[in-house]
Amino acid sequence: MSSLSRQQLALLIPLTLTWGLNWPVMKLGLAGFPPLTFRALSIWLGVPVLGLALVWMKVPFRMPRQHWRELLWLAATNMFAWHACIIVALKHLPSGRAAILGYSMPIFSALLGALLFKAPLARRAWLGVGAAALGVLLLLWHEVTNLSGQPGYVLMALVAACTWALGTQLLRRTAIPVPTLALSFWMTVLTAVVISLLAVLLEQPQWRAPGLATWSAVAYNAVLIFGFAQAAWFALARGLPPVASTLSVMLIPVIGVFSSALWLGEVVHWQDWAAVVLMVAAIASVLWPARQRAAPSGGASARSSHV
C-alpha cells in the first residue's frame, strides 16, 4: 500500500477531472461520426502535443532497439485494445455507463495481480476492490435492461477494461530504461498507426467531414487526453503499486456519470450517489497512510528486562 506524494496528487487531480469529463465530450463528438476515425484523429493530433512536451522538458526520444518488442506488448495491452474497444462501445452505450464498465479495470487489475503475478493484497486492499466492485454494480443497477440489448458492446467494454488491467500490471513491472514520458510518446505513436489502420479497414465508407462538435471533442482529446492525461496515468502506474494506482482513479466514472447527466440528460438515481461513497472508500482503502505501530520505549524495555 502506498500514499500519494504531492507530485502524484498534482497529477491525479487534473487527470481525474480531465478523463471524467471526457466521457460526455466523446459522446457528443461521436454523434454521426465513425468512432475509430474519431479516435485516430484525436491521437494523431495529440502526438505533436506530447512531442512538444518532451522537447520542452528535455526528455530524450530514444528507445533502445532491444526493447521495441516489449514496448509493442505494453502498447497493445495498455492502449491498442482499450482505445479501439471502448470508443466503439461508447458509440452504442450511454456515456456514463460506458465509463463505469471501462473503469471496472481496477477490479480486474487486483485479480490479475493476485492470480498471475502472485501479488499479495492486504485486507484493506481487498476491501477497496470489493467497494469498487459494489459501486460498479450499483451504477449499473438501472441499466441492466438497456445493456442487455447491447451485449456485444458491453462485452467489448469489459474486454477493454480487462486488457488495460493487464497492461497496468505489466507497465508497473517493465524494466525498459527510458523516462515514462518517452514511453508514453512511442506507445501513443504505435496506437495511432494501429487505430488508423482499423479505421481505414472498417469505417472508410462512413467517412464524412467532422462537424463543430466533433472537432471540439477531437481537440479536447488531442490536447488534454493524449497530450496530458495518458502520460500522467503512465507516470502514476509506474510509480505506485498496481492496486493503489488503479483504485486511485475510481472517481473518474463517477464524474463521467454526473457530467453526462448534466450535459446529456442521462438520469441519476440514488444508486449513483451511493456509488460515490463506495468509490471514495475504495480510494481511501489503498491511499490512506497506514498507522505506524509505536516502537517500545527504552524505559519499557529496561523494566521488562528486570521482571
pLDDT reading at 216 higher than 60? yes
Task: Output the CA–CA distances (angstroms, integers) from residue 271 to 17, 101, 144, 275, in the order listed.
Answer: 21, 15, 13, 6
Q: For the chain, percent helix, then strand, then coil, each to nearest 5?
A: 80, 0, 20
* Interatomic CA distance for residues 195 and 41, integer angstroms: 9
* Interatomic CA distance for residues 172 and 155, integer angstroms: 26
Contact (Cβ atoms closer than 8 angstroms) between residue 105 and residue 132: no
pLDDT tens digit string along 62-99?
999 999 999 999 999 999 999 999 999 999 888 887 88
Quote the pLDDT of residue 280: 72
- Enumerate the domain spans of the chain: 6-289
Cβ-proximal residues to 191 (8 Å cutoff; 6+ apart), any chain: 43, 75, 79, 80, 83
C-alpha cell belonging to residue 169: 500490471
Average pLDDT of the residues of the chain: 84
pLDDT tens digit string along 10-51?
888 899 999 999 999 999 999 989 999 999 999 999 999 999
Cβ-proximal residues to 130 (8 Å cutoff; 6+ apart), any chain: none
C-alpha cell belonging to residue 101: 464498465
pLDDT tens digit string along 175-193?
899 999 999 999 999 999 9
pLDDT tens digit string along 122-134?
777 778 778 878 8
Q: How confident is the model at residue 299 (pLDDT cuts 50, 70, 90)?
A: very low
